[in-house]
A and B are shown apart, each in its own frame.
Chain A
Amino acid sequence: MTTDTTPAPVLRVRDLAVTFRVDGGRAPDVPAVRGLSFDLAAGEVLAVVGESGSGKSVSTMALLGLLPGTATVTGSARLGDLELIGLDDRALSDVRGRRVAMIFQDPSNALDPVFTIGYQLRETLRRHLPGLSRAEARERAVELLRMVELPDPEQRLKFFPHQLSGGQAQRVMIAMALACDPEVLVADEPTTALDVTVQQEVLDVLRRLRERTSAAVVLITHDMGVVADLADRVVVMRHGEVVETAPVHDLFAAPAAEYTRTLLAAVPRIGTPERPSAADTRERPALNVEHLVVEYKDRRGRVVRAVDDVTLRVQPGEMVALVGESGSGKSTLGRCALGLAPLTSGTVEVVGTRLGRDTPRAVRAARTRIGVVFQNPAASLNPRYTIGESVAEPLRVHAGLRGDALRTRVAELLDAVELPAAWASRYPHELSGGQRQRVSIARAVSLDPDLLIADEPTSALDVSVQATVLELFRSVQQRLRFACLFISHDLAVVDELADRVAVMHRGRLVEVGERSRVLGAPEHDYTRRLLNAAPVPDPAAQAARRSVRLAS
């Protein structure tokens, strides 16, 4: 599958550079991509890998002229014998969707919510193949939906995007991209917003498409598992430049560049050795959930059971991971522990206070003993507060600290999360994602909590940043010895952190046990499915897993 045998590549990119004009030209231009060159052979899957800000998305958007007016693109990109760079928008729009098609990260927002998917498919066909009759367009739309393995394609044409699940919406996006048989398909993080089992389905669809279309694929991703699963060759980017280009097996087996090695090392993998648990089983549990049921009514008035008869304990010093896909009820359970979701039946006891039975005053007091870290640090920190003020707030409100004592404590806390104390006067937007999450952790532990609830604290972060934040999280937990309920969808992350693992599926707790036991020898079918669905960052192992799974 290497390019040596193919005479002319489908797409030949040379010295592509993108710069952005900032602040109306008053500030110096910001380079986003420099000197990017690669060839894309027919039928090949080329992965472009890198962390956020590496320029991987910008470079492909630049090829199709989809960047805002502030961007300047130079260099060359030849599609067959057509030079794309410098082409006017009208000519480029004939290429887009016809010869080069794209799919994007978040499928539920990538489709127009007020038109049916049938309309949106036919619209693409009509734009590029004006000779098609109404009936032919409809027939082709059905055929496309069948190709991406969407059940009941005729019926689905009448569906609106919100009636589809994320995985289904992404299949529609793929179908739309393939509508006019493009030469190149650009897939920008196609499975990042999806649950692992859904990701697996979409990856399967993409993989099987290679047999059905001749399109070459540019796969933009940060997920090394996805790379190992799909790619033939890999381009690794950092700070807008190519660090390394290699066939996929070579890249994983013997990465040449130092950065590639760091990147691969940062990817969490299942199989962490045994480690002692700090759980204290003699003491009263920090969180004790018994036969909890949470029901709510949806907008049609139907009763939905979000949490169904869940019993779970977290001992002081113990880290319990709550694992499940979106809609499994794991976040609802987390909110219950904070007293933020109404209990239908069952009991929740947090740091010795029973929610629902004890007085609101006691519950409020208990809440000061709980720390919380949310998924998106950009949204959970007040943008108008300095990070010092954010960390100081609980100390001022609950511990009554003022003046020098407060400043000293804030400095200690920032130091504990490995941020310079002088940064207290900075605002969240001046920090990177990882640094912001450190601030969230500092704020969550400021009152020395007995229980910490962390809801997907690292899912919004790049892998290398995630690795350092997880390490920090573990060390802070061991030092302060709080009980922790760690909510996550990523089993590899859980494997690095947790003492015990609880797996949730459709509101029920399907399996609870020691980490090594649950992840090493899962008893429940769903746990096995979750474990098998996540692609492993190793092309050979992933190919073996795929053939085993598809054979069964």
Chain B
Amino acid sequence: MTRYAVRRAVELVVVFLGVTLVIYLMVFALPGDPIRSLGGDRPLPDNVVAELRARYHLDEPVLQQYLRYLGGLFTGDLGTNFSGQSVASRMESRWPVTITLALTAWGIEVVLGVLLGLFAGLRRGRAGDRLVLAGTILATSIPVFVVAVTAQLVLGVRLGWFPVAGTSEGWPTSYLLPATVIAVFGLASVTRLMRGSVVDTLQSDFVRTLRAKGLRQRQVVGVHVLRNSAIPVLTFLAIDLGFLLGGTVVVEGVFNLPGVGQLLFQAIRAHEGPTVVGVSTALIIIFLLTNLVVDLLSSVLDPRIRHE
């Protein structure tokens, strides 16, 4: 177990360094000069430009800048944008929005996905199963922004069931619609995975034993099949939580939610390299940590992993 933990930690560091470096390089490859664009339409005097470049270390080679940035990270500094604001403080107020959104979406995936998958798996080949499968194909084939805009128009504007945009009405009212929209894709995957897992589990020898010892269907499914089938699904759910946190960009844009995704979106448009890198780095850390947590969680569900 310790060897495993050490290996995982090393992997985590390597992935972290690799991904942040790629993002850093990509941001600097973006066209346009961020310093000159600070002045808007008015051209900045050359000496001001030079001074700003020096202040933000833009006159150094990229790799040196990256190392400087990494050094800052270890002291908890996510960097400063070109207006002198710390990236961390800009994100601070936005985290609750994004986390609420992602967790709501994740909750929808877990509850609905597991239940729909269980339902379809138990009625394999029958009408209910085919309906669920057709639904998952439909859900995965429509792009997120189409779903987002359509849902906003139909359920928000026309029917008025949900607020059209913003967070003024708080959780859950303001979050339900955008969360459902980003959950759609993952929900379809969770449903299909769970369905396949249930079908496999139902065919296993131990389910026959459970029935042979007289357990009622409710107990066989509710206790044994559910837990055994959930193990492979859990791994996917973990990865998806990270994906949801980072994948809120489009939906926060459409529904005008002041979250981290929206900040990232605005930062990319404004060529604010430090903000882009800072937000991405924070998202990467969250992604890596959720994965680690879920690996530990699956060992709780599955004793065979625990005893390795």
Contact between A113 and B206 (Cβ–Cβ < 8 Å)?
yes
Partner of A64, one of B205, B212, B307: B212
* Closest beta carbon of chain A to B250's beta carbon, Å: 38
Is B301's CB within 8 Å of the partner chain A? yes
**Interface presence of B84 (CB below 8 A):** no
Query: Which residue of chain A is the closest to B210 with respect to CB atoms?
Result: A112
Judge if A97 is at the interface, Cβ distance under 8 Å.
Answer: yes
Most central of A89, A97, A163 by chain B CB within 10 Å: A97
A123 at the interface (CB under 8 A from B): yes
Whether B214 pairs with A114 at a CB distance below 8 angstroms is no
Residues of chain B within 8 A (CB-CB) of A299 are 308
Q: A292: shortest Cβ distance to chain B, in Å? A: 28
Whether B304 contacts A160 by the Cβ 8 Å rule is yes
User: Are B213 and A114 in contact, CB atoms less than 8 angstroms apart?
Assistant: no
The reply to whether the CB of A162 lies closer than 8 angstroms to some CB of chain B is: yes
Q: Does B50 contact A (CB under 8 A)?
A: no
Contact in complex: B209, A114 (CB < 8 Å)? no
Q: Is the CB of B212 within 8 A of A102?
A: yes
**B-side interface residues, number (CB < 8 Å):** 25
Q: Which of A140-199 contact B (CB under 8 A)?
A: 160, 162-163, 173, 176-177, 179
The answer, yes or no, to whether B89 is at the interface (CB within 8 Å) is no
Which residue of the partner chain B has the closest CB to A160? B303
Asked if A301 is an interface residue, CB under 8 A from chain B, the answer is: yes
CB <8 Å contact, A104 and B214: no
Contact A112:B206 (CB < 8 A) given known A127-B219, A160-B307, A299-B308: yes
A301→B3 contact, CB < 8 A = yes
Is the Cβ of A104 less than 8 Å from the Cβ of B227?
no
The answer, yes or no, to whether A415 is at the interface (CB within 8 Å) is: no
Bound: A113/B302 CA distance, A = 8
For chain A, residues 87 to 105, give those with C-beta under 8 angstroms from any C-beta of chain B.
Answer: 89-90, 93-98, 101-102, 104
Contact with B along A284-319 (1 / 0, CB 8 A): 000000000000000111000000000000000000
Partner of B209, one of A64, A173, A179, A300: A173
**B224 close to A (CB within 8 Å):** yes
Contacting residues, chain B, for A114 (C-beta < 8 A): 227-228, 231, 301-304
Is there contact, CB below 8 Å, between B209 and A111?
A: yes
What chain A residues lie within 8 Å of B212 (beta carbons)? 64, 66, 96-97, 101-102, 104
B83 adjacent to chain A (CB < 8 Å): no
B190-212, CB < 8 A from A: 204-206, 208-212
Provide the bound-state CA to CA distance between A102 and B209, in Å: 8
Neighbour of A101 across the interface among B204, B206, B213, B304, CB < 8 A: B213
Min distance, Cβ A180 to any Cβ of chain B, angstroms: 8
Q: Which of A96, A109, A300 meets B204, CB within 8 Å?
A: A109
Chain B's closest residue to A300 (CB) is B308
Q: Please indicate the chain A residues that have their CB under 8 angstroms from the CB of B289 in the complex.
A: none
A116 and B227 alpha carbons, distance in the complex (Å): 13
Additional A-B contact list (18), CB under 8 Å, known A113-B303, A114-B302, A128-B214: A66-B208, A66-B211, A93-B214, A96-B214, A97-B212, A102-B212, A109-B204, A112-B206, A112-B224, A114-B227, A114-B228, A114-B231, A114-B303, A123-B213, A127-B216, A162-B304, A162-B307, A179-B213
Q: Which residues of B contact A (CB under 8 A)?
A: 3, 204-206, 208-217, 219, 224, 227-228, 231, 301-304, 307-308
Q: Please list the 5 inter-chain residue pairs (A to B) with the smallest Cβ-Cβ separation, ordered nearest first.
A: A97-B214, A97-B213, A96-B214, A109-B205, A102-B212
